[in-house]
Amino acid sequence: MNDRYTNPYVIGALLGLVLLFSFYTMGRGVGSSSSFTRIATAGVELVAPHHAKTNPYFSKYLQNERSPLMAWLVFLTLGAALGGLFSAFIARRIRGEVARGPSIGVTVRLWLALGGGILSGFAARLARGCTSGQALTGASELAFGSWIFMFCIFAGAYATAYFFRKEWL
Amino acid sequence: MGPLYKFGWFDFAYSLQMAGLIGFLFGFVLERAGFGDPKKLTAIFYLRDFAVLKVMFTAIVVCAVGLLYFSLFGWIDLGRVYLLPTYLWPQMIGGFILGIGFVMGGYCPTTSVVATVSGKLDGMIFIVGMMIGSVIFAEIFPLLKGFYGSGDMGAVRLTDILKVNSGIVALLICLMAVGAYWLVEKVEGKFGDKDSLPKSSPRLKGLGAATLIALGLVLAIANPDKGAAKAPSSAPASVQEPAHTGFKILEDEGC
């Protein structure tokens, strides 16, 4: 199955061109993490509208007249879902499963996925972006903070990889 | 002259369609690279497969070099590109925590989307986790506000830190990328599974590396910053004075 993956250097060059196209047309790079914050904000607004408006962070996404979901990155993430679906479909890689290493159970893996998601969602807000919105985009612009951010991702992951080895190996 | 949106080529509604198209291409290449699979993604942290680093560095180098050539040719006004501001401490700590989340959850935010659409339940759970994480952040934001704004350095680029022009930085990152490729291929050759690693001819790789360094070298000699400073101010459909000195922060929404 692995030989169906395209060579990483070729993919990297293509990804760079997609990013360049985004800069040329829109004047900004890609990203995705804030679309999940926006969905969460829309949810909070639905359940507790007053609380959402008075919270200093949620209210950032509620300043416009339009819904917090009518945003550039939300549509970009929807597009990414469709693009990923199309690619997985033509490569016949769509299969319902819980991806994990051979020595870990489904339940533990799902809890770890949830924990990792919570940490990532929190960290992406703290750093004002994720691997794509901050690292890829910012590093291409040669933004100083984005380069530091990218190396800190690797530092964080390498520093703790040992504790999660049973999950993957 | 780009960025087209900033010169009024299309409106907000059209920009959302553009986002859909860019996202489609983004998701497509990520899945194509195998980044819908957390085992492939996390293999980098166990020194077995450095596809993540190869893809990221190549994308950054291609885009950074491309932007500077576009600027050199007068195709894009970098003063109108949204530059991410530097907040050193939250970015360092945020990056570190994101790295832990990556190896624990198996994904980064965008790759979890690609995993979810290819049928992985853990990818979907990761997305739920990200939403919970965002809500936790927003709820304790009053406590974090000071830290969130700490290390504010503004729109600072590597050029400001290293005190050289963008062309020299471009050459340096090209050299760094080629050096990193060489190093990680040695490492994965030692620890990785030879059958699943990509096969490619040394000659093609040498040619690619030489092209990258040559492109960087031309930029280092041509100095795109000088060209940007002299660019004619042919700015249609805008009253705003364009900044020709390179990037600057514009009113825009971050990520």
Which among B3, B32, B105 is the nearest to A113, CB-wise?
Answer: B105
Q: Is residue A124 part of a domain?
A: yes
Closest listed residue to residue B110, CA positions, set A152, A129, A13: A129
| Token pair 């380069």 in the structure block, residue | A147
Return the pLDDT at B13. Answer: 86
Largest CA distance in chain B: 58
DSSP designation for B84: P
**Residue B69 one-letter amino acid:** Y
B103:A130 CB<8 A: no
Burial of B16 (0-12, 13-18, 19+ CB in 10 A): middle
Which residues of A fall within a CB distance of 8 Å from B113? 32, 77, 80-81, 84
CA–CA separation, A15 vs A30, rounded Å? 10
B107 interfaces chain A, CB cutoff of 8 Å: yes
Return averaged pLDDT per consecutive 10 residues of chain B, 255 residues in all: 84 90 96 95 95 96 96 90 93 97 96 96 97 96 94 92 93 96 93 82 90 94 75 42 43 46
A105 interfaces chain B, CB cutoff of 8 Å: no
Q: Is residue A130 part of a domain?
A: yes
Which residues of A fall within a CB distance of 8 Å from B111? 131
CB contact set of A107 (below 8 Å; sequence gap of 6+): none
Nearest residue of B to residue A144, measured between CA atoms? B157
Return the pLDDT at B255. Answer: 45
**Residue A4 pLDDT > 80:** no
Return the pLDDT at B226. Answer: 78
Give me the torsion for CA of B142, A128, B6, A141, rounded to 10°: 150
CB contact set of B3 (below 8 Å; sequence gap of 6+): A23, A24, A25, A26, A27, A28, B76, B77, B80, B81
- What is the tally of structural domains in chain A? 1
Among A residues 12-41, those touching chain B with beta carbons less than 8 Å apart: 12-34, 36-37, 39-41
Q: Is residue A142 part of a domain?
A: yes
Q: Is residue A153 part of a domain?
A: yes
Percentage of chain A lying above the pLDDT 70 cut = 98
Which residues of B fall within a CB distance of 8 Å from A127? 90-91, 93-95, 98
Average pLDDT over residues A12-31: 94
Quick: pLDDT tens for A30-72: 989 999 999 999 999 999 999 999 999 999 888 877 889 988 9
**Residue B229 one-letter amino acid:** A
Quick: pLDDT tens for A124-151: 999 999 999 899 999 999 999 999 999 9
Q: Is residue A23 part of a domain?
A: no
Confidence of residue A3 (pLDDT cuts 50, 70, 90): low
Distance to chain B for A60, nearest Cα, Å = 10
Closest listed residue to residue B100, CA positions, set A36, A83, A120: A120
**Residue B207 near residue B80, CB atoms below 8 Å:** no
CB contact set of B148 (below 8 Å; sequence gap of 6+): A126, B87, B90, B141
> Which domain range does residue A168 map to?
100-169
Among B residues 116-145, those touching chain A with beta carbons less than 8 Å apart: 116-123, 125-139, 141-142, 144-145
A112 interfaces chain B, CB cutoff of 8 Å: yes
Average pLDDT over residues A67-86: 94
ipTM of the shown complex: 0.96
